[in-house]
Amino acid sequence: MKLAKHRIHTLVVILTTSCLFGCTKYIPDDRDSFGEDISYNVTEFSPTIGRSTFYNDIVSVGPNTSQPLTFRIVNLKDADGQPVSTLFSDKFPVKVWRQMYDGTESSIEEIEAKRVVEYRPILEILEHSGNINFWNAGSSSYIRTQPDSGYTFDVEVSNSGGRRYVRGFRLKPQRERPYEPTDVDPETGLSLSPHGFASYVRGMLGQRTRGGIPASAIRVYIRKLENMPATTSKTLTLSFLDSLLNPIDPRNFNDTDWAHMVHGFNRRIEDNKVIYDVAYPIPLTRVETRYTSVGGEMARLDIGYRQRDVFGDIVRASFGYNFRIFEEGHWEIQFRFMGETPAFN
């Protein structure tokens, strides 16, 4: 009798153990929750070709969806509905900041040590945030630009609990505008005028009439210098012409902080032009420094000199110009005084 009970007990243990181990495949995996509470607050993007544009904090994820999520751009098509195969999947070299730029760097080498060259697609979605970057690469020669309807795409969002598609995104790039301010039409690429004007003027008097010189009498021309010698350093040149289009010696602007005019190096004067070695874009980032406007959005030039005012007092006269240059190269900003030359007395 005892032997029979022992056999029955052993059998129950074996059957229970077999059930436990054999049925584990029916226990569900620990999966993330995945709800319908994922949305984008921006669905149409109109970046300018040649400028890095970052669309941050554009995804809203509700409490019913576990994070992290994985985001991926899919179904990229042109306005005609044709798939775009490699246009936005090919990777281009772009400069990515790895350390913070603050405007105190003392050389181009120190600036460049804070950023690295990485290969990125022009249109990039960040894998786990869903933010979208449009990098400063490519050309309107092969990227559709406005007024063309551009491109459409969807975003695939997933985690271990499932996946869904956020649809109906539109990419409508604008043509290159390599510097600001500019009146280049973003759709046609044509400029209505070859020049702009000084941002402000303070107390400047004309040599001929001793009348005030307004900002509208100081024309500003920005041009990229071609056929320059191949060097590792890029440059920014400042030049000045009087009312007869003769060069003005920049030393006449004798109350100008040339050393801190721009965040440039190896400053020199050649052929009545002030030349700096610089890193592009200008300004390098949207960080306020001694070289920028308030908020860091624009680079700031302040050019001044000492003059005798109408009362005979020696005062500072000046004019300024706020600008941005996005395209790397050798650039010149030329100031032309129309009608009146400053009274350098």
284 shares a domain with 301: yes
- As a whole number of angstroms, the distance between CA 305 and CA 207 comes to 14
Q: What is the mean pLDDT of residues 210-216?
A: 94
318 shares a domain with 192: yes
294 shares a domain with 241: yes
Tell whether 189 is covered by a domain.
yes
Domains: count for the chain: 2
Alpha helix (H) residue ranges in the chain: 2-22, 108-112
pLDDT recorded at residue 94: 96
In order of 120, 175, 176, 219, 278, the CA distances from 141 in angstroms are 19, 9, 10, 31, 28
pLDDT recorded at residue 20: 45
281 shares a domain with 210: yes
Tell whether 264 is covered by a domain.
yes
pLDDT recorded at residue 31: 67
Tell whether 90 is covered by a domain.
yes
264 shares a domain with 167: no
122 shares a domain with 247: no
262 shares a domain with 128: no
Q: Give the long-range contacts of residues 256-261, CB within 8 A, separation 24 or more.
A: 256/302, 256/303, 256/304, 256/305, 257/302, 260/290, 260/291, 261/291, 261/301, 261/302, 261/303
CA 236 to chain centre: 19
150 shares a domain with 195: no
Domain that holds residue 297: 179-337
- As a whole number of angstroms, the distance between CA 216 and CA 153 comes to 45
Residues belonging to the chain: 345
Q: Which of 121, 146, 171 is the last residue of a domain?
A: 171
Interior CA angle at 245 toward 242 and 249, to 5°?
50
- Pull the structure tokens for residue 155: 């975003």
pLDDT in tens, 155-168: 999 998 889 999 99
145 shares a domain with 205: no
Tell whether 4 is covered by a domain.
no
pLDDT band at 190 (very low <50, low <70, confident <90, very high): confident
Q: What is the mean pLDDT of the chain?
A: 89
pTM, rounded to two decimals: 0.86
Q: Which of 171, 195, 221 is the last residue of a domain?
A: 171
CA-wise closest residue to 114 among 257, 284, 247: 284
pLDDT at 13 over 50: no
183 shares a domain with 157: no
Tell whether 225 is covered by a domain.
yes
329 shares a domain with 224: yes
CA-wise closest residue to 317 among 209, 202, 206: 202
Tell whether 150 is covered by a domain.
yes
- As a whole number of angstroms, the distance between CA 345 and CA 343 comes to 6
CA 234 to chain centre: 18
In order of 37, 188, 197, 324, the CA distances from 45 in angstroms are 22, 19, 31, 22
258 shares a domain with 138: no
Q: Which of 114, 147, 171 is the last residue of a domain?
A: 171
Tell whether 5 is covered by a domain.
no
pLDDT recorded at residue 311: 82
Q: What is the CATH number of the domain that holds 134?
A: 2.60.40
Q: What is the mean pLDDT of residues 306-315?
A: 85
